[in-house]
Structure 1
């Protein structure tokens, strides 16, 4: 997996309406695994925009209570790896002692400074390849997203809830789950489908959120061949969707959406959008 250090990147996409499609580009945010290590031990791997990482390191350390002020960090070093970035931080003697005590209460081995690379590899693990042959017409996707909006019961009450839904071309919305966290909503949906014995290969996953790489990975494990979202994807999400065979459509509005990967599953009455763009 190639990691880009720029915070944004321009990617090709196809704009689709009910009646037409056209090729173009969209600038999307980059998403990179960031391993945060203290005194040679990995504390966490966060998916983040690869910019202002020194600020991120200090802010994360403060919010986690690892340091009381920036002065508690003796040094900070940004190491770029093929799989992401490692932020190596060294704590003052006093803070280092309290951190070692804290680490003894955490699960997982203490590394030697290279464990950040291992953690990055885990964060960048390949997604499951999806091979479903489902094809949808543009008006079906636009109708499905309208159904999603109307079915968000909790969000109608509080206006602060994400939703993930599974849509079948013959049955409409099969299941919908809501949560304050977009990842949680998708996990809940996956669990609901699994408990009901509903195969993910037969429909599309719909999201009210942006598309980060975890959302693509979770969708691939469900086996769903098409993922549609209200907001834009990250660049890493697009790359992973391309590799694992998912048709990624995003920026879905009332009358249009954009397709970033595998457009052949989006069809007009006569042929696929991939053929129309050639």
Structure 2
């Protein structure tokens, strides 16, 4: 199996004016097995780029590890049929995971696949601390447009999501892409963790709707602001409110909607709230 991010395939374009042969770049997706001390904890479909970032971010956001310091070693192993992301952990963390093995096999973008109870799906979140992070109205309104400059795979295929990290006064400083919106966010979380960047110093920007699991991943990573191009679910708003997360949606052009904790967004010298 090739691990390129996209592959060119032939097709036929059928339009009202006739049909013609075409060749398009289409995104690849591969099974990625997350293996901890020899035990597979999850198998997810993902784009084959930035696998180390995806594996680290998924492990953190899904609670498989609590801190990157629990990782003793990591390697990425490519097979004909997919990719293994192999972790070796310090201490007894591997034994803990064996007791709670979830062995998830999920379709693309499935953020809660394999969760076997309602309590696990609606896990309680820590409350984000009050902080000094402030973003201006133009920064939030332009966040998703700014992210577009960091989506080369989308430019080639028109079929993938992205997640970016926005810092006040700096714009998008890190971004990752994937066929799955949850995977893109996990890749971003992993990239920040591996670079030693605190998520609480900026905002997450996503090219999708805001579901409960996107809020969960954001809060667990410690980012105090989530900015989305599309709508949140009602439950996601409830969860953001409870967790102290600033939630901005429909961020396009000159504006956006605010649904929770607006105090981190300023308009001129005054807060939006």
Q: Tell me if TM exceeds 0.5.
A: yes
Task: Provide the rounded CA distance (Å) in 2 between the counterparts of 1:129 and 1:165.
Answer: 22
Q: Give the distance between the partners of 1:170 and 1:136, measured in 2 at CA.
A: 8
Give the equivalent residue in structure 2 for 1:233.
232
C-alpha separation between the residues in 1 aligned to 2:124 and 2:150? 33
Q: How does 1:202-217 map to 2 (within 5 A)?
A: 202-217=201-216
Q: Do 1:128 and 1:217's aligned partners in 2 also have CA atoms closer than 8 Å?
A: no
Give the Cα–Cα distance (whole angstroms) in 2 for the partners of residues 178 and 170 of structure 1: 23
Q: What SS does structure 2 have at the residue aligned with 1:170? A: coil
- SS of alignment partner, residue 126 of structure 1: coil
Q: What TM-score does the superposition give when structure 1 sets the normalisation length?
A: 0.55
CA RMSD of aligned residues (A): 1.6
Report the Cα distance in structure 2 between the residues aligned to 1:170 and 1:188, rounded to whole angstroms.
23
Q: TM-score when scaled to structure 2?
A: 0.56
Q: Given the alignment of the two structures, is residue 123 of structure 1 paired with residue 121 of structure 2, yes or no?
A: yes
Q: State the 1:128 CA deviation.
A: 2.2
The alpha carbon displacement at 1:145 in A equals: 2.1
- Shift in Å, 1:256: 0.8
Are 1:182 and 2:181 counterparts?
yes
Greater strand content:
2
Aligned length: 160
Aligned residue for 1:251, secondary structure, equals strand
Q: Do 2:128 and 2:244's aligned partners in 1 also have CA atoms closer than 8 Å?
A: yes
Runs of 4+ off more than 6 Å: none
User: Which structure has more helix as a fraction of its residues?
Assistant: 1
SS at match of 2:123: coil
Report what 2:142 is aligned to: 143
Retained in 2: the 8 A contact 1:133–1:225?
no
2:244 corresponding residue in structure 1: 245
Per the alignment, residue 166 of structure 1 pairs with 165
Partner residue, 1:155: 154
Q: Report the Cα distance in structure 2 between the residues aligned to 1:232 and 1:143, rounded to whole angstroms.
A: 16
Q: 1:174 aligns to what SS in structure 2?
A: strand
- Other-structure match for 1:72: none
Alpha-carbon separation, structure 1, partners of 2:251 and 2:143: 10
2:142 and 2:254 in contact (8 A); partners too: no
- Secondary structure of the 1:127 match is coil
Contact persistence 1:203–1:226 (CA under 8 A): yes
Q: Can you give the 5+ residue segments of structure 2 that lack an aligned partner in the other structure?
A: 1-100, 103-115
Larger radius of gyration between Structure 1 and Structure 2: 1
SS in 2 for 1:252: strand
